[in-house]
Amino acid sequence: MSRRRIGFWYRLAAAIAKPPLIVLFKRDWRGMENIPAEGGFLTAVNHNSYLDPLLYAHFQYNTGRLPRFLAKAALFKPFFVGAVMRGTGQIPVVRATADAAAAYRSAVEAVNKGECVAFYPEGTLTRDPDQWPMVGKTGVARVALLTRAPVIPIAQWGANEFLPPYAKKPSFLPRKTHRVLVGPPVDLSAWYGKEPTAEVLREVTGAIMSDVKQLLAEVRGIPAPAGLYDPRKAAKDAKGNDGKGAA
C-alpha cells in the first residue's frame, strides 16, 4: 500500500504555514522512527492548544506520511480554509449525527488504503488544570479494532506555551520549543476478536490514552498522574463539594 501523494493543496498549506512556524518555534522531535514507513496506521495525540493540529501537521509532514484529521465540520465552511481542508483530504465530523458514523467509515477506508488517520481522542482541548490528557472518546478505538492497524501514540508540548488552552492572545517571547515524542504502537492484541462493546471500547481508548500520557510525562520531565482526567467526574465532585460547603 502506498503513501498519500503530496498534492497541490498540501504543498500550498505547507508553503503558507511552515515559514512562520519555523520562526516562532524551535523543534525537539523524537521517535520519528516509530512512524510506519508504509501501510495504513492511526495516530493518537494529546490536545492542549488551538495550534496543536497545525504544529502536529508540520511535524508529520516532515516524516513523509501525511495525516488525515477527523475535524469539526464547521472548519470546512470558510471558503479558503474549507478548500484547503478538502484538498488535503481531511475528514469532516458532524457530532451526534449519522454523518459522524460516515466520518468513521471514511477513516476506516483511508487506513485500509494505506493512509494515516490522526485522532485527537480527547475531542477538545484538555480541561485538566495541569494540562495532562483527559479520558478519550472511543472513535480511535472503533477504527483500531476494525482495521487492526497500528495505533501510534504521540505526545506534543510547546504550542500550549505559545497559546495556552482557551487563551486568545499568544506569548511570543521567549521563543518556544515544539516538543514531540512518538512511541511504539500500542499493544491492543488483548482486545482483537472481542465484541466491540462500550466497555471494550473504553478499555482500548484508556490503553491508548495511558500510553500518550506516559509519553507526555517523558516530554515534560515530570511524573504523570495515576489516572486520566475525567471532566464529568470532576464536575460532579465540584458540585458535591459545593453542597457540603453550603450545608
Q: What domains, with CATH codes, occur in the chain?
A: 8-246 (3.40.1130.10)
- Taking the model in full, what pTM does it have? 0.90
- Please report the pLDDT score of residue 239 as a whole number: 73
Burial 199-232 (b: 16+ CB within 10 A, else e): ebbebbbbbbbbbbbbbbbebbeeebeeebbeee
Q: Is 60 strand, coil or helix?
A: helix
pLDDT along the chain (247 residues), means of 10: 67 88 96 96 97 93 90 81 84 72 89 95 94 95 97 98 92 96 98 95 98 98 95 81 58
Q: What gap in Å lies between CA 11 and CA 17, rounded to an integer?
A: 10
Whether the bond between 20 and the residue before it is cis, its omega within 30 degrees of 0, is no
- Please report the pLDDT score of residue 247 as a whole number: 46
Taking a C-beta distance cutoff of 8 angstroms, is the pair 175, 65 a contact?
Answer: no
Grid cell at residue 113 = 488504503
- Please report the pLDDT score of residue 5 as a whole number: 66
- Please report the pLDDT score of residue 4 as a whole number: 59
Taking a C-beta distance cutoff of 8 angstroms, is the pair 41, 152 a contact?
Answer: yes
Q: What gap in Å lies between CA 182 and CA 116, rounded to an integer?
A: 14
